[in-house]
Amino acid sequence: MSRRTVLAIAAGAALVLTACTGTGAASKGADAKAPDDPSKVSGTIKVLTQRTDLVQDGTMKKYAAAFNRTYPKVKVEFEALTNYEADVKIRMNTENYGDVLMIPGVVKKSDYPRFFASLGTRAERGRKYRFTDFTTVDGKVYGQSPIGVTPGFVYNKKVWREAGVTKWPTTPAEFLGDLEAIKSRTDAVPYYTNFAAQWPLTSWTFVNGSVGCDTGATTKLADGDPWAKGSDLRVGDTLLYDIVHRGLAEKDPTTTNWELSKPQLAKGKIATQWLGTWAIVQFQDAAKKAGANPDDIGFMPFPAQVDGKFCAVVGPDYNQAVNVHSKHKEAARAWIDWFTDKSGYDRDNLAISPLKNAPLPDVLKPYEEQGVRLIELDDTKGAQVKAIDDQSEVGINKPDYRQDLVDLARGARKGSLDSFLAGLSRKWTEAQKTVGS
């Protein structure tokens, strides 16, 4: 789940790259209507998925068996793709890209009607589901994520308690002070960058919106300077820099190991990582395998408050869609609706349900208790942000610039933080001049 999930969020948070070409692009769109009578829906549908693990261990087959209790005449076949984005991009030059698929980042949002069948109107679906903005084109919705995710710090509660910290820090300065306490009072590495894996560094972009508790944070990326004084990304990037610069991260970031970091955090050898809710179940599983206590795995919001309250942005994972060329659109739509509403996939992954009236997962009960505000960002200008990012070559959803930031902080690269961020600002604002709204 790890890397692919983070990249899926990146695609959802800023939609998206250049359009595919080929026969798929010739279609004018269609609707995938919800079936009235489950007993009459039939056909064999192929579901493309990035979850190779769940196909290999039989979990997806179990979901299909449960689905068949409601839709007995629909046969569901799964195809898991390790290199999902690249493989599906090639397939979408034909009409053969499954009946149900995760919308890949390579497709422009404006091209959704050319490749996917509509699931209904935004007005209709928005009453029941979260995240409809992210796949809406001209008032129609073309995809639905089965889970919601929010960024935050996965941390070992036992280590933090041993350091004398029992409350979530409310400012970056307080957070740094807590990491200093962990360094001086425990044997744990206070913070782990996962620098070598690269993709975890992209998670730092998702501080955007949480720092200022601003649903218009994406619009600000399109219209303003993301690294202006006090801006969300500047606050986040400065915190990452300070963590490394003060020696509060691992000694040699180039030797980090993502898979090993999970049992190390579970056993208290690492105290903290900035990831997302999707990671919690992986760290808990690692704790069980390592003989550690899974209840020691905690999750906390970014250390910033507005009017005395933390905020956390909730966004979609990969969005499921119906191939506009599918010969079994009704069956494909039935799968998406059932998987979203009834499968329990969200609970199995300790994730936020896309259903607005669903309770939060138990792992986020502390968020409820402390009154953390969960907000969704307006994605109206998401495609524009992606275009600016591509033109500027900054790469807010790529690891490169934050690897450079970490290298700067540890002295492997020359320069100051201010000049580094000023350079990002310059590239970004110059690109804004060439990208239309």
User: Tokens 């919705």 label which residue?
Assistant: 141
d(CA 29, CA 46): 20
Q: What pLDDT does 26 receive?
A: 40
Q: What pLDDT does 2 receive?
A: 42
Same domain for 157 and 205, yes or no, is yes
Residue 64, CA distances (Å) to 98, 143, 285 in order: 16, 20, 24
Same domain for 198 and 234, yes or no, is yes
Evaluate if residue 408 carries a pLDDT over 50.
Answer: yes
Q: Average the pLDDT over each of 7-21, 62-76, 336-350 and give the range with the smallest value.
A: 7-21
Same domain for 225 and 173, yes or no, is yes
Last residue of a domain, one of 342, 357, 372: 357
At residue 190, what are phi and psi to the nearest 5 degrees?
-60, -45
Same domain for 266 and 346, yes or no, is no
d(CA 329, CA 323): 8
Q: What pLDDT does 437 receive?
A: 56
Same domain for 160 and 11, yes or no, is no
Same domain for 84 and 161, yes or no, is no
Question: How many other CB atoms are there within 10 angstroms of residue 126's CB atom?
Answer: 16
Same domain for 222 and 322, yes or no, is no
Residue type, position 156, single letter: N
Of 384, 387, 377, 386, the C-alpha closest to 131 is 377
d(CA 431, CA 428): 5
Most confident of 24-38, 62-76, 372-386: 62-76
Evaluate if residue 19 carries a pLDDT over 70.
Answer: no
Residue 137 region by backbone torsions, left for phi larger than 0, else alpha for psi between -120 and 50, else beta = beta
Kindly state the average pLDDT of the residues 131-147.
94
Tokens of 434: 């060439």
d(CA 92, CA 23): 8
Of 377, 395, 380, the C-alpha closest to 431 is 395
d(CA 392, CA 389): 5
How many domains are contained in the chain? 2
Does residue 109 or residue 41 have the better pLDDT?
41
Q: What pLDDT does 314 receive?
A: 94
Q: What pLDDT does 82 receive?
A: 85
Kindly state the average pLDDT of the residues 254-281.
95
Interval 298-308: pLDDT, tens: 999 999 999 99
Same domain for 126 and 155, yes or no, is no
Q: What pLDDT does 29 receive?
A: 67
For residue 212, the domain's CATH number is: 3.40.190.10
d(CA 336, CA 161): 43
Same domain for 38 and 187, yes or no, is no
Domain that holds residue 80: 2-146+318-357
Same domain for 178 and 294, yes or no, is yes
Helix (H) or strand (E) holding 120: strand 120-121
Last residue of a domain, one of 357, 386, 421: 357
Q: Is 374 helix (H, G, I), strand (E, B) or coil?
A: strand
Dump the DSSP string for 244-274. HHTT-B-S-GGG--HHHHHHHHHTTSB-EEE
Same domain for 252 and 328, yes or no, is no
Same domain for 232 and 379, yes or no, is yes
Interval 55-94: pLDDT, tens: 999 999 999 999 999 999 999 999 999 889 889 999 999 9
Residue type, position 307, single letter: D
Q: Which pLDDT band, with edges at 50, 70 and 90, does 420 fall under?
A: very high
Could you tell me where the DSSP H helices lie in 342-416? 345-348, 365-369, 382-392, 400-409
d(CA 185, CA 133): 46
Last residue of a domain, one of 357, 374, 409: 357
Contact (Cβ atoms closer than 8 angstroms) between residue 174 and residue 303: yes
d(CA 151, CA 148): 10
Strand order of the sheet with strand 120-121? 120-121, 140-141, 136-137
d(CA 340, CA 188): 39
Residue type, position 75, single letter: K
